[in-house]
Amino acid sequence: MSLRAPDQIAYYRGSVIETYPAIEPVTLSEVKALLVVDGTGDDAILTDMIGEAREFIEHISGMAFITQGWRLSLDRWPQPATPWWDGVQQMAISELTARNASLQIPVWPLQTSQCRNGVWG
């Protein structure tokens, strides 16, 4: 009987925002009209709430609403799963064969990509 090779799923180190959005998806005047707010006393609070709401929805959905720049850091490039089999089939055949490697994009939709080390552009 052989042991399964340890899965290395911790290759993803994280993504960092480099260029913040230039605008928000909702303007201050639209929010004030929706909430029926007059005057300028609450403008700073409402502006902060618009940005925080956008960031929260982007975080839970994994989707960027406004064009922004992100940097993705990897410890290594994804490798296909190593096939293993001890001679006894106790699971689906698809789990015994190698799968194609794929790179998971944490924030989408992706508009452009570049590599800082010159490997791909």
DSSP assignments along 24-71, one per residue: -SS-HHHHHHHHT--SSTTHHHHHHHHHHHHHHHHHHHTB-SS--EEE
CA separation for the pair 80, 90 (Å, rounded): 21
Instruction: Please check whether residue 28 lies inside any domain of the structure.
Output: yes
Instruction: Please check whether residue 57 lies inside any domain of the structure.
Output: yes
Give residue 90's pLDDT: 67
Instruction: Please check whether residue 64 lies inside any domain of the structure.
Output: yes
Instruction: Please check whether residue 70 lies inside any domain of the structure.
Output: yes
Residue 66 lies in domain? 9-75+105-115
Say which residues have a Cβ less than 8 Å from residue 56's Cβ, sequence separation at least 6.
Answer: none
* Per-residue pLDDT reduced to its tens digit, 7-43: 444 445 678 888 999 999 999 999 999 999 998 999 9
The domain tally of the chain equals 1
Instruction: Please check whether residue 2 lies inside any domain of the structure.
Output: no
SS3 102: coil
Instruction: Please check whether residue 98 lies inside any domain of the structure.
Output: no
